[in-house]
């Protein structure tokens, strides 16, 4: 049962990161994109402060740019 919970958690985590990446690469302003990410996370019951959100966006950007090289 623990393995199933881990798989579900990994899937949900991947879905959230995928959605965030999709929003980051959308042709909208950074502020509008951040608002959409916050709304998507809040729908999942995840609440982040502005600084936590900025850190999350920076982490995602750095991972994407390091994988592109």
Each residue's pLDDT tens digit, 32-49: 777 777 788 888 888 878
pTM over 0.75: no
Q: How confident is the model at residue 61 (pLDDT cuts 50, 70, 90)?
A: confident
Total Cβ atoms within 10 A of residue 33: 18
| pLDDT of amino acid 68 | 59
Enclosing domain of residue 62: 2-68
Tell whether the model's pLDDT for residue 51 goes beyond 80: yes
One DSSP character per residue, 27-47 reads: SS-HHHHHHHHHHHHHHTT--
What confidence tens digit (pLDDT) does each residue in 7-37 have? 877 887 888 888 777 767 766 677 777 777 7
Q: What is the number of structural domains in the chain?
A: 1
Q: What is the DSSP code (8-state) at residue 50? A: H
């Amino acid at each position: 049962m623990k393995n199933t919970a881990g798989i579900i958690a990994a899937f949900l985590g991947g879905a959230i990161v995928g959605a965030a990446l999709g929003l980051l690469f959308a042709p909208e302003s950074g502020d509008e994109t951040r608002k959409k990410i916050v709304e998507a996370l809040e729908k999942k019951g995840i609440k982040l402060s502005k600084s936590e959100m900025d850190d999350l966006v920076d982490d995602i950007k750095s991972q994407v740019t390091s994988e592109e090289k």
